[in-house]
């Protein structure tokens, strides 16, 4: 049920305070950055197009305007090849632009939010539930109504309460 006339891109331009992302998958390899992922797997340098991704401008513009973009990734070790790529190349690159990252590592414990889907939450009022296929390909976003807001705020709050800053986690477990 789509309840927003805005696209996901519109929300990234129009949010006022914060955009929060929950990531729950081990593989998004068919959703973008495919050439960079192939380069990573081959031990090659980061492609120039990857280094200059449009996402970096989106993040940089938001942060310069005093807005926050942050995310929690729920994961377990050992990391998949894709997660090694995302964390070592993507998170490092995006963090330099001002995006904040947190890790909820469930390697040695139960997932505190096992039913949470991937989503974006804008200004604690707009929920964009993300859909992916089994191969990590992005299928689209469904904007959910206000009746779902408390549930998704709960997912965010639980994730943030139990996650650690990426830099701290990476210093301990990074490759």
**pLDDT digit string, tens, across residues 117-166:** 999 999 999 999 999 998 889 999 999 988 999 999 999 999 999 999 99
Question: Is 50 exceeded by the pLDDT of residue 2?
Answer: no
The sign of the CA dihedral 130, 131, 136, 139 is negative
CATH class of 8-173: alpha beta
Q: What pLDDT does residue 135 have?
A: 87
Q: What angle do CA 59, 121, 98 make, to 5 degrees?
A: 20
Query: pLDDT of 24-40, one tens digit each?
Result: 999 999 888 889 999 99
Q: What pLDDT does residue 165 have?
A: 98
Closest CA to 103 of 130, 63, 95: 95
Output DSSP code: residue 31. Answer: S
Q: What pLDDT does residue 74 have?
A: 98
Query: pLDDT of 12-69, one tens digit each?
Result: 999 999 999 999 999 999 888 889 999 999 999 999 999 988 999 999 999 999 999 9
Containing 119, the helix (H) or strand (E) segment is: strand 119-122
Tokens for 89? Answer: 């190349």
Query: pLDDT of 72-93, one tens digit each?
Result: 999 999 999 999 999 999 999 9
Mean pLDDT of 93-109: 97
Tokens for 81? Answer: 């090849």
Query: Number of C-alpha atoms within 13 angstroms, CB side, residue 173?
Result: 17
């Amino acid at each position: 049920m789509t309840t927003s006339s805005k696209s996901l891109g519109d929300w990234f331009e129009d949010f006022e305070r914060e955009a929060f992302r929950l990531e729950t998958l081990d593989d998004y390899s068919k959703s973008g950055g495919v050439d960079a992922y192939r380069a990573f797997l081959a031990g090659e340098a980061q492609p120039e197009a990857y280094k200059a991704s449009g996402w970096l401008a989106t993040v940089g513009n938001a942060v310069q305007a005093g807005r926050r973009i942050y995310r929690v990734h729920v994961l377990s070790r050992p990391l998949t090849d894709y997660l090694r790529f995302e964390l070592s190349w993507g998170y490092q690159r995006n963090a330099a632009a001002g995006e904040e990252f947190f890790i909820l590592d469930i390697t040695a414990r139960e997932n505190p939010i096992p039913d949470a889907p991937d989503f974006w939450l804008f200004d604690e009022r707009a929920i964009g539930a993300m859909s992916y296929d089994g191969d990590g390909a992005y299928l689209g976003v469904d904007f959910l109504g206000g009746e779902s807001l408390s549930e998704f705020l709960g997912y965010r709050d639980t994730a943030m309460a139990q996650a650690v800053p990426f830099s701290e986690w990476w210093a301990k477990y990074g490759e």
